[in-house]
Structure 1
Amino acid sequence: MSRFLKVAISQELLQFTNPERYVQHIENRVGVKAGLVAVGADDNVQQLTEKLRDCEVALILPTLFEAVGNCLPPSLKWIQCAWAGVEPLNSLADDVKKRFRQCIVTRSAAVYNLEMADYVICAIISMERNMPKIIKRSLNKDWQRIEDVCGYRTLSKLSIGILGLGDIGKDVAKACNSMGMTVYGLKTTWEPVDHVKKIYTSSELPELLQTCDYICNILPSTSHTKGLLSNGVLKVCSSKPIRFINIGRGDIIDERSIVEAVNSGWIEKAFLDVFEKEPLPPESPLWDLKDVTITPHVSGAGGRGLVEKRFIENLENYIHNRPLKYIFNWDKQY
């Protein structure tokens, strides 16, 4: 164990584990002597510069991208993001992007898949069974077994269109199909995907929206996906309103367009977990929309325990000069 590896890790990630366990994990699994340094949002440029000095590898939250990018040392060869999405890279200043391009950036993919698939199933059942309304009545000690809470469809009678069939989308498709749902999907190419009956491309989005009972967005935030459902796109659902689930990125549809779609009856019900601005401000009109449930970006929160596992797996690849998994593609922007 002659090689020494200095690793920077976001302070927030160390709240969920013992730093010494991280070091032991690296040394026992990877076979190198490791030193850990915690970096956080409270660090100024001078502190970050000193902490990152001689670091070769980093596991950080994307909220630190800009700060870290301003003081990237030449020694830093690889950065693993603790999120599945690394879209904040796309909005960095060009000079900061240029510095990031000098090292490899990878995503924590295949970490949040099952948790997010569970969320989608939970959201569908909640909307079909009118659980938000039942819970509200329960808090008011109101016992009513009337049509609005007793009339529902089983999942086997429902269809869902999944926008984005990456790792997470494929597991959501599998979960929905296993419950008997008919699954459709939106992606850039027509290659078949397991558990998906038919693939649509972006030019066919209106047809997909008109076909499905539910639409679930799992797309990343790129220049091609921002506002994809904004500006009256959902008007095609006027004759057959959809139920909308958003666990991808909030900028797929702007706030004004959500309000318009709900008030116009294009969206019948919704579960929203991601937003243009987070935390969602108290003054946002989304809080007061009828039959819209707001959750605070928690659809994949249970997957945090796998972040360390995925990092160690990729670290083994790095140390042994094997290809790293889930490398960020600057051209595709994800």
Structure 2
Amino acid sequence: MDATELTELEDDTSTGKVDGMTDSHLNTTGIQLGGFGEVATMTAETVDFLIRVLEDRKQELLVNDEDKLHVKANYAVAEEDEGGASEETAPSPHRQRLPFDSVNNSGAGDGATVTELMTQKLQIPVVSIIPGIGEAVRQQLASTAAPCSASKLYQSSKLEIVDLPVPVVCPPNASNNHQPQDAIGKDEPTTPSWKLDPIQQQILEDAEVLFIDAHLAAPLLLDPKRNLPFEMQHLLKKVKWVQGTYAGVDSYHQFPEAPADPGFTVTRAGGIMPTALAQFVFGWVIALERKFFDAQVYQEKRVFGRWDLKYRSFRQVTIGILGLGEIGQEVGRTLKASGFQVIGFKRKVNDENRKALASSADRVSSDMHEVLEQSDYVVNVLPSTDATRYLLTENTLEVCSKKKPVFINVGRGDVVAVDTIVNALDKGLLSKAVLDVFEQEPLPKESPLWSHPKVIVTPHISGSVFPEDVADVFVKNLCRRLEGQQLIYQMDWSNGY
């Protein structure tokens, strides 16, 4: 398009106004557009208006990512007075960055492309079984308490958070299933389905960012031929970043045939579970050490057994923590603050991380046998990876025979087999087991763990997911992505977490 074509749009050369253009379109503090030897500055609203006029008058506009919309300065739209001619307007020093520029982590360049200008909104789909998670994101973005690039886009109607229906996906082939209990029906589906209207399908076709539960993202992205309906196989091809809603990422491990690096980044909902899991562990340790359950038995017998319920000093109790990541450190800090002796197991130990972990553990060791042998309680918070699956065997637990610790598992159930736990309890290697995670979830009704007198079963409730917490992680990461910064809680495909 040249300047002559634009002249056809002009009704009044004395004002520079296009037919139908109001003074609101003449705001010149916006996006800088390159001209034919001269420069004009216009807002995206002005450009949108011009594009609509072009479409109404059936002007053909061929664009690609390199094309720029050029407007001569004398058509640019700055009115000096009622009858005066337009004057050149200096470029604004605060040139806006458009959503897709930032999402792609690239600069805006010397001028905004027509493609960018025609993009009304950056639409991010939300797919989750967690009620209210999309609304929690919208509320955070609408808040002016701590504005960032994402909230500014949202508040200027350039960003939309779109709630989409939850799909039905095929169950993974792996026997270990860590998706939330609410996500698993009594009859596991075998035929994938997704009730999407054409607009929703278009959103997923265009999406580069996806906010989704891991147990849904993994099958849809790693095994799409099996989990996307035939007519939807074209969806999700452009996804570059997946923000999860859980702390764990083991759903992605259930697809061994997937490429080692599938071409998209996964970030987990880190930081939302440490406090809750630490409280859970602390509660059970206190209940057992202070003999709350024994007190209940005495109550039922109507016995005032004051001297039978004496407890030991917490300084005499050693608690071993398997895994000193974010969650393990918080568990250690909580217990250590109450006077317990804490020894932590970490695969790689050096002087630097020993110092960093001092507030969480009195000692840190890379020798798991040492930790097991010296502990009165063994707390597992390890994730599920190739290195941790069935790490605890009957032979490994033999070193527990002296202290007979209580085993508390809030990490992942596949760190130890059910039979191994039962045998260790029956042989006296462990005195009790508090289990919140299991090899298979939900725990099968026929499992011996339900009825074992030394086992306490809780249904994966050590840490609940609250929408506002997950939304906080997502909004922080979205702001970082828009600003070209490194994402937090990013999954490393090479080590599986």
TM-score normalised to structure 2 length: 0.61
CA–CA separation in structure 2 for the residues paired with 1:11 and 1:210: 42
What do the CA deviations read for 1:157-187 (whole angstroms, capped 9, x no partner)?
2111110111111111111110011111111
User: 1:147 & 1:236 partners in 2: Cα distance?
Assistant: 34
Which of the residues 244, 264, 279 maps onto 1:118? 279
- Residue-by-residue CA offset, 1:245-284 (whole Å, 9 max, x unaligned): 1000000110000000111111112211110011112211
Where in structure 2 are there 5+ consecutive unaligned residues? 1-95, 100-120, 154-158, 170-191, 229-234
Q: Identity, % of aligned pairs?
A: 30
Distance 2:458 2:308 in 1: 21
2:202 aligned with 1:38:
no
Q: Aligned partners of 1:55 and 1:20: how far apart in 2? A: 19
Letter of the 2:124 counterpart:
V
Equivalent residues of 2:205, 2:236 under 8 A apart: yes
2:495 counterpart residue number: 332
Output the CA distance in 2 between the equivalents of 1:136 and 1:319: 58
1:53 aligns with 2:205: yes
Match of 2:317 in 1: 158
Q: Please give the per-residue CA displacement for 1:268-326, whole angstroms capped at 9, x wherever unaligned.
A: 12211110011112211111222321111111116553111111111111111111001
CA–CA separation in structure 1 for the residues paired with 2:296 and 2:478: 46
Q: Which has the larger radius of gyration?
A: 2
1:23 and 1:36 in contact (8 A); partners too: no
After superposition, what is the alpha-carbon deviation per residue over 1:119-178, rounded to whole angstroms, capped at 9, x for unaligned? 11101011113334544666xx43334489613224232111110111111111111110
Give the match for residue 64 of structure 1.
216
Distance 1:20 1:252 in 2: 36
Report the Cα distance in structure 1 between the residues aligned to 2:308 and 2:123, rounded to whole angstroms: 57
Q: Contact (CA 8 Å) 1:80, 1:108: kept in 2 or not?
A: yes
Aligned to 2:362: 197
Aligned residue among 285, 293, 296 for 2:448 = 285
1: CA distance, partners of 2:476 / 2:434: 34
2: distance between equivalents of 1:276 and 1:37? 32
- 1:123-142 correspondence runs (5 A): 123-135=284-296, 141-142=300-301
Q: Paired residues, what number? A: 326
Whichever residue aligns with residue 137 of structure 2, its letter is Y
What is the RMSD of the two structures over their aligned residues, measured on CA atoms?
A: 2.4
**How far did 1:21 drift?**
5.0
Larger relative contact order (C-alpha < 8 A, sep ≥ 6)? 1
Kept after mapping to 2: 8 A contact 1:8/1:37? yes
Higher helix content, 1 or 2: 1
Corresponding position of 2:246: 83
Q: TM-score, normalised by structure 1?
A: 0.89
**Corresponding residue of 2:50:** none
Question: What code does the residue aligned with 2:138 have?
Answer: V
SS of the equivalent of 1:52 reads helix
| SS of equivalent residue, structure 2 residue 449 | helix
Deviation at 1:20, TM superposition (A): 4.5
Q: How does 1:255-334 map to 2 (within 5 A)?
A: 255-301=418-464, 304-334=467-497
Structure 1 residue runs without a partner (length 5+)? none
**SS in structure 2 of the partner of residue 325 of structure 1:** coil
The CA distance in 2 between the partners of 1:59 and 1:145, in whole Å, is 56
Please state which structure has a larger fraction of its residues in strand.
Answer: 1
Matches within 5 A, 1:164-243: 164-190=323-349, 191-192=353-354, 193-195=357-359, 196-201=361-366, 204-243=367-406
- Rounded to whole Å, the distance in 2 between the matches of 1:120 and 1:155 is 15
